[in-house]
Amino acid sequence: MRRRNMTIEGLWIPLITPFRDGDLDEASIQRLVHHYAAQPVDGLILGATTGEGLSLSDEEIDRLVLAARAALAEAKRQMPVYLGLSGGAANKVIKALHRTQMLPVDGYLIACPYYVRPSQAGLYQHFAALAENTARPIVIYNIPYRTGVNLGNETMLRLAQIANIVGVKDCCADAGQSFDLLRLKPQEFSVLTGEDALFYTALTQGAEGGILASAHVETEAFAHVRKLIRHGDQRGALAAWQALVDTPRLLFQEPNPAPIKHWLWRTGLIDSPELRLPMLPVSDALAQRIDQHIERLKPRVAA
């Protein structure tokens, strides 16, 4: 029987990791977390793809988690915090699970093993082994265009029977696969889209929410779309989405998270748009488009 307190749903933000002069910018981390603690956000994920997790040392991961938790405590906001993990070998991910067991995180977002392209049987055994090595909930991150392997629905549904595998961040890029998973999954297993531009579509098909990098900005607007869907106002949700959809399209014109960091820097939420190689800052052309978009939104935000 699945434990109900492990349910994951709603609007989650895969938080960017602010850097300054090559180091973590803990002041900006805390400013960001304070900001989202006051927004209609259901959870945060640290150190995942948008958080440039592969560039972080173990010591930096620890500092990131502790800074975020301290900010939530100061804001007096109860919000689940998950940690992003990934790797091409089960034994290394298991070591990461053991190493982070003392960190104040509520669960993990774990990507499919990248580069090695295992079979479906290998994928099942990989995630089953991970689940055996933590009591915390695991959300699978299925993103074949990054990892090189797609976790198919038959395997996903088998994994959904494991008590602490509680959901998937779905970026499979196959509309039929996503629809069938929503149609066939057990009720207590959550599907959250990770395709920002498909948020509305996923919600109308029954997704429990989204893990959306774009929701760093216009956060209330993203949450409002889901609220309208949940209240049965599909016409209103469509209108709200039509007003919002250009934002995720803009933010994915160049590799994530550079456009988001530029936006957050321009609006004063972080002190620098710095990234770590091989990620580069946005082009001058995109920076100008983002700045113009921010200016256009000011009357809407003020209202």
Tell me if 275 is assigned to some domain. no
Which range marks the domain in which residue 192 is found? 4-233
**Mind listing the pLDDT tens digit for each residue in 121-134?**
999 999 999 999 99
Tell me if 213 is assigned to some domain. yes
What does the buried/exposed string (b/e) look like for 124-159 if buried means 16 or more CB atoms within 10 Å of the residue's CB? Answer: bebbeebbebbebbbbbbbbbeebebbbbbebbeeb
Tokens of 261: 């960091």
Tell me if 164 is assigned to some domain. yes
Catalytic residue from among 36, 82, 169, 200: 169
Tell me if 238 is assigned to some domain. no
Tell me if 268 is assigned to some domain. no
Using alpha carbons, select from 5, 8, 2, 6 the residue that is nearest to residue 193. Answer: 8
Bridge partners of 210, per DSSP, are 11, 193
Tell me if 251 is assigned to some domain. no
Tell me if 49 is assigned to some domain. yes
Could you tell me the CATH number of the domain that includes residue 222? 3.20.20.70
- Concerning whether 169 is annotated as a catalytic residue, the answer is yes
Question: What CA–CA distances, in Å, run from 62 to 53, 55, 65, 178, 216?
Answer: 12, 13, 5, 34, 22
pLDDT per position in the chain (303 positions), as tens? 455 567 899 999 999 999 999 999 999 999 999 999 999 999 999 999 999 999 999 999 999 999 999 999 999 999 999 999 999 999 999 999 999 999 999 999 999 999 999 999 999 999 999 999 999 999 999 999 999 999 999 999 999 999 999 999 999 999 999 999 999 999 999 999 999 999 999 999 999 999 999 999 999 999 999 999 999 999 999 999 999 999 999 999 999 999 999 999 999 999 999 999 999 999 999 999 999 999 998 865 444
Tell me if 295 is assigned to some domain. no
Using alpha carbons, select from 57, 69, 74, 90 the residue that is nearest to residue 15. Answer: 69
> How far out from the chain centre does Cα 29 lie?
16
- Concerning whether 92 is annotated as a catalytic residue, the answer is no
Q: Provide the domain count of the chain.
A: 1
Catalytic residue from among 141, 185, 200, 261: 141
